[in-house]
Amino acid sequence: MSGSYFLLAVLVFALALLFSMFRVLREYERAVVFLLGRFYRVKGPGLIIIVPVIQQMVRVDIRTVVMDVPTQDVISRDNVSVKVNAVVYYRVVDSQKAIINVENFHAATSQLAQTTLRSVLGQHELDDMLASRDALNQAIQDILDQQTENWGIKVSNVEIKHVDLNESMIRAIAKQAESERERRAKVIHALGEQEAAEKLAQAAHVLAGEPQALQLRYLQTLTEIAGENSNTVVFPLPIELLNYLRSKTPAPDS
């Protein structure tokens, strides 16, 4: 009787061992298989066979990971303290390297992203952080992609989400922007005055060469003044007009 129990136990153990040999991996999973502690091969997806005891496997997810980089305190090149956070998109492209070359590729990528973010932004001024984010994103991505290549990681995108300033710096930037707007307004006004003066000088030159044109302009001005709501109009009589009328008046007979 005891012998039958022993056989039954052996049979159950054998069946359990047999079923444990079969593993199913999803489309986005890969298995890094080790044979007696040494790397054997990468298997999957689908149904794979793992020999118990002598083979072990480590599952690797090859989908894109969205990693939120914690807020970092950064001092810009012009000595402005800001708080910056970002998001990094990466995925495993070589499962063997991701398991063998680094202990925890997720933690390693996160730490590398934090240090790279502080290093790259610290080399630029505050204006670059606010106005040139695309260039900074690309610079951070290139560095991360190069550093993680040996880990079997591909960094596909980096985005700086927020650049937080303290209240005093926000007021200083607003004051600077207002001063810049005032400066531009003064420059535009000065350019307008210069252009108007040039046009007036050109008009005066034309009128000086054509006395008839000067008289017509004078009469037009009188017409505009007469059209206003005024009972009395006092205007000077130009000497040029008197000379012109005197030259047109016939001399009296002696």
The answer on 27 and 45 residing in a single domain is yes
Listed in sequence order, the residues at least 6 apart from 44 whose beta carbon sits closer than 8 Å to its beta carbon are 25, 29, 30, 31
Cα–Cα dist 49/22, whole Å: 5
The domain total for the chain is 2
The answer on 76 and 56 residing in a single domain is no
In a domain, 22, yes or no: yes
The answer on 69 and 129 residing in a single domain is yes
The answer on 84 and 28 residing in a single domain is no
Cα–Cα dist 196/226, whole Å: 26
Query: At what angle are helices 133-148 and 105-121 packed, to 10 degrees?
Result: 140
pLDDT (tens digit per residue) in 130-177: 888 999 999 999 999 999 999 999 999 999 998 888 776 656 666 666
pLDDT (tens digit per residue) in 196-228: 888 777 776 766 666 666 566 666 666 666 665
Choosing from 165, 196, 212, the residue where a domain stops is 165
Q: Which residue has the tokens 């993680």?
A: 148
| pTM across the whole model | 0.66
The answer on 81 and 44 residing in a single domain is no
Residue range of the domain that includes 98: 65-165
DSSP string, 111-122: HHHHHHHHHHHT
> C-alpha distances in angstroms, 149 versus 92, 118, 120, 165?
10, 21, 19, 34
The answer on 96 and 57 residing in a single domain is no
pLDDT (tens digit per residue) in 55-92: 999 999 999 999 999 999 998 888 888 899 999 999 99
